[in-house]
Amino acid sequence: MAIAIAFGVFASNHFCPTRLNVSDDPTRSCQLREAVPHDPIYHALDFDGLYKLAELPKLRRWTSNWVILVLGLSGQGHFSLPGLTRQDWRCRQRGLPISLHQTVLDFDSTLGFPGEGPFPFGFGGFWIFLVVSSSAPGRTWTLVGSVSCHGMQPRHAEDKARVERRQHCILEYGRPVQTVTKLNRDRLLKNFADWLKTKGNCLATLLEGAYKDPEKLNRLLSEYGRALFDAGRPYSHYSETINAVGSSMPSIRRLLSGAWDMAFAWLREEPFEHHVACPFQVLLALLTVCMCWGWIEIAGILALSWGGICRIGEVLAAHRKDLILPSDVMNTAASVLLKVQEPKTRFRAARHQVAKIEYEDLVELIRCAFERLRPETKLWRSSPQLLRNRFKQLLAALLLPVNSKPDRRTLDLGSMRAGGATHLQMLLEDAELTRRRGRWLSARTMEIYLQESAATLFFPQQPPETKIRIMQAANAFTGMLEKVQFFTRNFIPPSTWFFLVAAKSESKQMGQNGRQRDPWEDEAPMEHPAKQGATERCKPETQKKGSRAPENRCDSNHFVTSPSQVSP
């Protein structure tokens, strides 16, 4: 629009009188005119022209609708071949493809419906060749059959292109599952077959008689489930065994209700344990510690998973080209988009799914973490186990429990998705928006992750020293984010961030005694209400000779702690 205005191009609606806008008969008191006499279009076509008409390539919907309408109106309800008698046409039609038979032929008492009857060459879908064998003393005729094409051939260029794309694809029988799932089910089915042998039964014989005696199969599966339960096996072994039996014979899936009743009883005794939702206070504290230690990539991973309500595996599998930052669109958008590679629900919902992050501080943190990566670089370039170990170190720095107990679960990487969904629901009170952001198929599935009570009670249930430590780190998040922006803008390596923050914390304390403060320090830092108690517990310690950094050094405004001798 700006270019059009610059060149003086404006929209102009021309006036057309009503008398020139001819209406369709019989509107406006106009009598219906007689039809224009004409001959069908295909009367002017010879045999080759009619063949080309029948072999037209695939057209667009609007084009094909007009072609059908024109041919139908011009044909006046019948279709005859000009210039050829019916007997001549029968002689020539044998050299034409089946698609033309279906277009221009009707039922015939000798050939049947269009497409039926013998093929012009060969038998069925096989082509037969006679090969002369010269190895024997006498010349013998050997009948050799070529590869079957099962009567189907590509029709045009688009079919041939699809054939080339599908050369490496194999359609398997049964319900499609992932390769890992299929291998796991095969292993569990073999274990079930071995267990049946110890009971004097055979799996193949049991499946063959499942239609006549389904109770026997359900009884043996229930006994196998009790054996797995007594042996301490997980519930997934039993449920996947039932799925494996149903996959081997899909028609008996509805006959396995007795085995599933055993599975429901198992779940009632041992219900699923969901991830504990991570509160926003703990998230800010975790991100602050990550920035202090120079673990900017871990901070970006946690921010993506929590803010975008992403599964941790989706974030770990993402590359830089899958992440759209505001700078990538010339700052015309204020949110971050993450393209999800192979989403979990891709076979039941949209194959292409996107996560969206709109929190301003998290958007800025994600930008600092991943903006300068190459497009083909993964967001997390190390192993998932290293991420889990470092997450436990972050929890330990905040005095949070690292290992779960029977009566209390601790936070893990899966808590980010649950925490982000719970916070969004509590903030906006919009269940449909939360479901769409989390990309859940139903509201029932979403309710598993919405744990308002768990997220609300997790922080108050912590000891006083843990809550003080978390609030110190959470209050320092804004100041640390500004420092990280300064570090990344000036290309300061993350391995030095911890020592710079520790040195600035010391200089700030000296500045309170009359020395000048640093220009990039907080002008009005947030103070925790329990400043006195926090200062006593986090009193600076004298750095030992030869040590890299203080083991525990913090005040009410800046949270600085050592990464427990782990190199950033």
CA torsion through residues 459, 465, 468, 473, sign: negative
pLDDT for 51 equals 75
pLDDT at position 515: 47
In sequence order, what are the residues at sequence separation of 6 or more whose Cβ sits closer than 8 angstroms to the Cβ of residue 394? 286, 289, 290, 298
- Whether the CB-CB separation of 566 and 390 falls below 8 Å is answered with yes
- Alpha helix ranges (H) inside 123-274: 157-165, 179-198, 203-208, 214-230, 235-248, 257-269
Task: Answer left, alpha or beta for residue 146, where phi above 0 means left and psi between -120 and 50 means alpha.
Answer: beta
* H helices present in 275-410, as ranges: 280-293, 296-307, 312-316, 360-370, 384-397
Residue 200 CA from chain centroid, whole number: 45
**Where are the domains positioned within the chain?**
41-104, 179-269, 491-561
Residue 340 dihedral angles phi and psi, to the nearest 5°? -85, 120
DSSP states along 369-381 = HHTTS-TTSBS--
Q: DSSP class of residue 490?
A: T
| pLDDT value of residue 540 | 34
How many CB atoms are located within 10 Å of the residue 156 CB?
12
What average pLDDT does the structure give for the chain? 76
pLDDT digits (tens, 9 = 90+) for 424-437: 988 888 889 998 99
| Burial classification of residue 547, based on how many CB atoms lie within 10 Å of its CB (0-12 exposed, 13-18 middle, 19 or more buried) | exposed
Compute how many other C-beta atoms are within 10 angstroms of the C-beta atom of residue 439.
Answer: 21
Q: What is the pLDDT at residue 336?
A: 95
What pLDDT score does 520 carry?
38
Burial class (CB in 10 A: 0-12, 13-18, 19+), 484: buried
Regions of the chain where pLDDT drops below 50: 76-79, 93-94, 96-149, 514-568
Which residue type, as a one-letter code, is found at position 507? S
Write the CB contacts of 220 (distance below 8 Å, at least 6 apart in sequence).
196, 199, 201, 206
Rounded-to-integer distance, Cα 49 and Cα 42, Å: 8
Which of 446-451's residues contact partners 24+ apart within 8 Å by CB, and which partners? 446/421, 448/274, 449/274, 449/275, 449/277, 449/417, 449/418, 449/421, 449/422, 450/421, 450/422, 450/425, 451/274, 451/276, 451/277, 451/418, 451/422
Given the structure tokens 């009410």, which residue do they identify?
556
Q: Are 363 and 410 in contact (CB under 8 A)?
A: no
Residues 559 and 476: beta-carbon distance below 8 Å: yes
82 exposure class (CB count in 10 Å sphere: 0-12, 13-18, 19+): middle
What is each CA distance from 193 to 207, 232, 244, 262, 462, in whole angstroms?
11, 19, 11, 19, 49
pLDDT value for 543: 37
The SS3 call for residue 136 is coil
Q: What is d(CA 474, CA 149) in angstroms, rounded to the nearest whole number? A: 68
CA angle 386/424/427 to nearest 5° reads 135
d(CA 384, CA 378): 13
Produce one character per residue of 402-438: b if its CB has 16 or more CB atoms within 10 Å, e if not. eeeeeeebebbbbbbbbbbbbbbbeeeeeeeebbebb
Query: Which tokens belong to 530?
Result: 């329990």
Question: What per-residue string of b and e applies to 184-193 under the rule 16 or more CB within 10 Å gives b?
Answer: bbeebbebbe
- Identify the bridge partners of residue 143 per DSSP, sorted by sequence position: 130
Total number of residues shown for the chain:
568
pLDDT number for residue 268: 84
